Amino acid sequence: MILDRINPDDLFPTEHIVTSVLGVMPYQMKDVAKRFDAAYVATNERLILNVDMDGQFYYRNIQFNEIKAIKTTDTALEIKFDYGVFTLEESDADKVKAMSNYLHTKI
């Protein structure tokens, strides 16, 4: 599964990819904390979250106005929404910085 890329046919006609970051996302499922391969892909119109949940593909379209806060460390990107905080860990530091910088221009 390629998580940090989007098929151009799935983009709106006015949309283009700006940046992406691939990593591992911890997620609490009942009493078990699981870790899934995941990616954020930012376009000029929205943020897309792609996750490989043990072979099951999950994606979410996120409007920039849903983002409440962004925090970063060298290899982690934490995004806060009204419905929770989602952290992408074990990511490339340059891609984390690029995504954070871009998202800060959109919120």
CATH number at residue 43: 2.30.29.30
SS3 labels along 60-93: EEECHHHEEEEEEECCEEEEEECCEEEEEECCCH
Residue 55 lies in a domain: yes
2 belongs to a structural domain:
no
Count structural domains, the chain: 1
User: CB of 75 within 8 A of CB of 89?
Assistant: yes
List, for residues 36-61, the tens digit of each pLDDT value. Answer: 999 999 999 999 999 999 999 999 99
Dump pLDDT digits (tens) for 1-43: 789 999 889 999 999 999 999 999 998 888 898 999 999 999 9
Cβ atoms 17, 42 nearer than 8 A: yes
Q: Give the range of the structural domain holding residue 51, as residue numbers without chain letter.
A: 8-105
Is 78 a domain residue?
yes
Q: Which helix (H) or strand (E) holds 24?
A: strand 17-29
pTM for the predicted model, two decimal places: 0.91
Report if residue 3 sits inside a domain.
no
**Is residue 43 included in any domain, yes or no?**
yes
